[in-house]
Structure 1
Amino acid sequence: MSKVAAIIGGGVIGGGWAARFALMGWDVRIFDPDPEAERKIGEVMANAERALPMLYESPMPARGTISWHGTVAEAVEGADWIQESVPERLDLKLKVYKEIQAACEAGAVLASSTSGFKPSELQEGAQRPEQIVVAHPFNPVYLLPLAELVPGAASPETVEKAKGTLTAIGMFPLHVRAEIDAHIADRFLEAVWREALWLVKDGIATTEEIDNAIRYGFGLRWAQMGLFETYRVAGGEAGMRHFMAQFGPCLSWPWTKLMDVPEFTEELVDLITDQSDAQSGALSIRQLERLRDNNLVSILRALKGQEAAAGRLIKDHDATLRRPLGDGVPLVTVRRTVPVDWVDVNGHMNEGRYGQVFSDASEELMAHVGADRAYIDAGNSYFTAETTVKYLAETLVGEPFIVETRVTLGEGKKLRLWHEMKRASDGEVLATCDQFLLHVSLETRKSCPPLAPVLEAVERLAKAHKEASDG
């Protein structure tokens, strides 16, 4: 039975939550009085459905349903998780909580997306303060994994349930141990934002020059190392202590204006707006979102390949989505979506990536017969000796596909596989691969017979697949 998430407030953040939950298999119930909310969330869903599956090698869960409800009470009825993302007005939030708690299950997690209020403020006067937490995400919620989890007076049971749910949908719950205004991440962002406003106001830099300073410099380091680890490396072999000794004195220099706020005048707003329009106004918001998502997918996949930072989180979550192959003929060895970093100058999947797809399919088959990671670590494996790949149709970015695999030969050291890569939407064959492998000893790097359990499994599969083909 699917779990149910209720989304109260369907703006940019609420829509992102809806997409994240739905694509992770939850049924989503939405309340938002905005007459345009369904269209707006539909556009967010379209972006999410294209981008999020690109991060995973494993198949995504079956998408949950999305339904629209005319009242808060109707939306939260029976929900396991309730995400409040209404405008940042405390009186409105408290009013909404009364409506929610009058209708929701006592054991549901009631989480707020707020960046501006502490949980103690949200729990004030609540019917069940112990079920309310802050779960502050970052846009786009369906791609960025961080959620600042701030408990306040929430019960330990609620906190653990919240951590478990966020982890299960591929997010990273950062447990903020003590509540503070703006939590953790937004305090950094506010400091950078404040200094950026001064630099523009004082004519030191334009909005584009400031963005370039971030995206071509320290922003790339922060994406994979954060702040303190970056500075630890900057300290050289002597590490953080040397960095602190070298740069600590500059903290007393009048470099920044972090404690001084520029007057927020119409002139400043116009200056910032005009520069921002000149910088990126040629692109619509939807085009900018698509560009942002493409870049994030590529960066996150690169980190995933190195098992670093957010990439390690995605790799671990990916493993929880894997499905056993079962006993069907053919075996579906790959279910995934073409990621943006696989596309070449012609706008379709590069031929080299087909080799990776079929290699992934053979590795799944190997694991299925017992030649898994433990088997390989013990010194045995299969090496590919020959492949013949045929490209039959274009494969485009964002397209879901599967690979069906048959064992056409399995005897002694020899293993031969026939792979068919098919578009998931209509079953059209996109490419085929005839792959011949030999079993080897990783110690001698020469061919040798498989261990008995693997050989028996290979022979059994080869027989079953031959019988199915002959039948």
Structure 2
Amino acid sequence: MSRAAIIGGGVIGGGWAARFLLNGWDVAVFDPDPEAERKVGEVLANARHALPGLYDAALPEEGRLSFHGSMSKAVEGAQWIQESVPERLPLKRKVFQTLQEWCDPDAIIGSSTSGFKPSELQGCATRPGQIVVTHPFNPVYLLPLIELVTTDRNSPDLIDRAKQTLTSVGFYPLHLRREIDAHIADRFLEAVWREALWLVKDGIATTEEIDEAIRMGFGLRWAQMGLFETYRIAGGEAGMRHFLDQFGPCLSLPWTRLTDVPDYDEALVELIASQSDAQSGHLSIRELERLRDDNLVAMLRALKRTQTGAGGVILGHEATLPRAETGADGLPMTLEVQVPSSFADYNGHMNEAAYLDLGTRASDRLMEMLGADAAYIAGGLSYFTVETDIRYLAEIQIGRRVTMTTQLLAGDGRKLHLLHRLWDGDDTPAATIETLLLHVDLATRRVVAPGEALATRAAAMLAAHAAHPVPERLVLGRAKA
């Protein structure tokens, strides 16, 4: 069993713990704060609510979480150690010295520092090459970016292992070409932050108006395309060079106070804090976190559909997740997911359209099992759904783990008559979804017979499923009632 040690159990450390834990790692936490267990538990509750909803497959069985009174106990047997203590260099160096007294010399020690360079962290270390910067973004359990910053003291083998480990739990390790204060993303954030402080201080905009300018406009563009690709489109058909020719002269205009910093005094603090309270004070921090996470899941799932940006990372991680082959009823398991919050309706349970969505995914999986996968479809042949009947047997709450098994009732490959059984967990019937599919030539849009290989697999599956019971109520093709 893989084991991670988390040193510091605040928002960031708790996010690291949740990311590893929900990907099947055992996690040991050290934090002298007597409230650490509660704080990590609250972050973990958010992660359990949100992370599984990103995937169209089940995450591994959750690992074991433990809390320890000393760093020496926490790092026992850990392959990965993540430091997330306050941003004070002497404290971090002292922590690294203590860790290296007790940890496995082959373990990777990552630092969540948002500003320090790895050479600064390695300065007083017994084994400098063991320490790297792995800077995450909150919420750590949802956002994939990790800024991986290394020095010449880190071996190629350790860097490769760090990348592999981070990727295996769903992160996107962005390996910086060389170290710099605040890495990449925080330098952007600092620039935007300083400009925002001036806008508030000078009375140009309130905190709410600045947030609206971001979330109603360029924030949405940046999430999918970043900065330079967004500006490339702004250049029109002539591309990036035209954009630069058009807006390059603006660099000499007074459009920013980037090199100037407002006085950080009590008046500025009170101005920003009071405006922020007026903007969002009606919601608790936990309510804001849930709102943020639900929105992130919905946006990331949209990006996953187009394999764009962070969505491509999630899709790649999903492909590595193990799949159960057979359900409790002995039929092929064609779906195993946790119901995401985006499936909720006004009654607080899974909506009708979500049942159809899950049934569609199960049909796609059965098509893959017969050989009608993405490559097959790219070759010009596919299946079209011509009729579906859904029977709702029980409500399904958001966050529940559901599975789907599929029975081939009839068909020679040219036509497939499927019965999907949706289970709440493994054994509580929640719905049946009956589907009729026809094999189609995508060029002519007409029904055609499949090739011999697919027809043979369909015949074998039909024979294997013939012994399984069939519900009394069937609507499509062979109705009994």
User: Could you say which TM-score interval applies, normalised by the shorter chain?
Assistant: over 0.9
Q: Which moved more, 1:8-17 or 1:200-209?
A: 200-209
The 3 A distance-change label for structure 1 pair 412 and 276 is closer
1:157-214 per-residue CA deviation (whole Å, 9 max, x = no partner) reads 1111111111111111111111111111101111111111111111111111111111
1:404-456 per-residue CA deviation (whole Å, 9 max, x = no partner) reads 212222446332221111112x7332211122223333344333333223222
Answer whether contact 2:331 2:407 (CA < 8 A) is retained.
Answer: yes
Shift of 1:224: 0.8
Give SS of 1:467's match: coil
Unaligned runs of at least 5 residues, structure 2: 471-481
1:320-348 per-residue CA deviation (whole Å, 9 max, x = no partner) reads 22526259722211001222333334433
Answer whether contact 1:329 1:406 (CA < 8 A) is retained.
Answer: no
- Give 1:404's aligned residue: 405
- Give 2:435's aligned residue: 435
Counterpart-to-counterpart distance in 2, 1:134 and 1:101: 16
Q: TM-score, normalised by structure 2?
A: 0.93
1:101 maps to a residue whose letter is Q
Give SS of 2:315's match: helix
Unaligned runs of at least 5 residues, structure 1: none
Q: Which moved more, 1:207-216 or 1:246-255?
A: 246-255
Answer whether contact 1:407 1:462 (CA < 8 A) is retained.
Answer: yes
* C-alpha RMSD over aligned residues: 1.8
1:72-113 per-residue CA deviation (whole Å, 9 max, x = no partner) reads 111111111110001111111111111111111111111000
Answer whether contact 2:386 2:438 (CA < 8 A) is retained.
Answer: yes
Matched, 1:233 2:233: yes
- Give 2:214's aligned residue: 214
Matched, 1:106 2:105: yes
Write the mapping of 1:189-208 to structure 2, written as runs, cut at 5 A.
Answer: 189-208=189-208
The 3 A distance-change label for structure 1 pair 16 and 97 is same
1:296 maps to a residue whose letter is L
Write the mapping of 1:320-469 to structure 2, written as runs, cut at 5 A.
Answer: 320-323=320-323, 325=325, 329-411=330-412, 413-424=414-425, 427-469=427-469
The 3 A distance-change label for structure 1 pair 441 and 257 is closer
Q: Which moved more, 1:246-255 or 1:126-135?
A: 246-255
- Give 2:140's aligned residue: 141
Write the mapping of 1:20-419 to structure 2, written as runs, cut at 5 A.
Answer: 20-152=19-151, 153-323=153-323, 325=325, 329-411=330-412, 413-419=414-420
Answer whether contact 2:133 2:147 (CA < 8 A) is retained.
Answer: yes
Q: Which moved more, 1:196-205 or 1:375-384?
A: 375-384
The 3 A distance-change label for structure 1 pair 274 and 295 is same
Counterpart-to-counterpart distance in 2, 1:343 and 1:453: 41
The 3 A distance-change label for structure 1 pair 330 and 99 is same
1:285 maps to a residue whose letter is I
Counterpart-to-counterpart distance in 1, 2:452 and 2:322: 26
The 3 A distance-change label for structure 1 pair 367 and 324 is farther
Counterpart-to-counterpart distance in 1, 2:286 and 2:8: 20
Counterpart-to-counterpart distance in 2, 1:414 and 1:296: 39
Give SS of 1:347's match: coil
Answer whether contact 1:329 1:465 (CA < 8 A) is retained.
Answer: no
Shift of 1:377: 2.6
Q: Which moved more, 1:336-345 or 1:103-112?
A: 336-345
Counterpart-to-counterpart distance in 2, 1:357 and 1:143: 22
Counterpart-to-counterpart distance in 1, 2:117 and 2:408: 59
1:283-306 per-residue CA deviation (whole Å, 9 max, x = no partner) reads 000000000001111111111112
Give SS of 1:165's match: helix
The 3 A distance-change label for structure 1 pair 381 and 236 is closer
Counterpart-to-counterpart distance in 1, 2:16 and 2:403: 28
The 3 A distance-change label for structure 1 pair 158 and 203 is same
Counterpart-to-counterpart distance in 2, 1:138 and 1:442: 43
Answer whether contact 2:413 2:454 (CA < 8 A) is retained.
Answer: no
Q: Which moved more, 1:85-94 or 1:448-457?
A: 448-457
Percent identical across equivalent pairs? 60
The 3 A distance-change label for structure 1 pair 204 and 385 is closer
Counterpart-to-counterpart distance in 2, 1:253 and 1:469: 75
2:38 maps to a residue whose letter is R
Counterpart-to-counterpart distance in 1, 2:32 and 2:281: 30
Answer whether contact 1:21 1:27 (CA < 8 A) is retained.
Answer: yes
Give SS of 1:297's match: helix
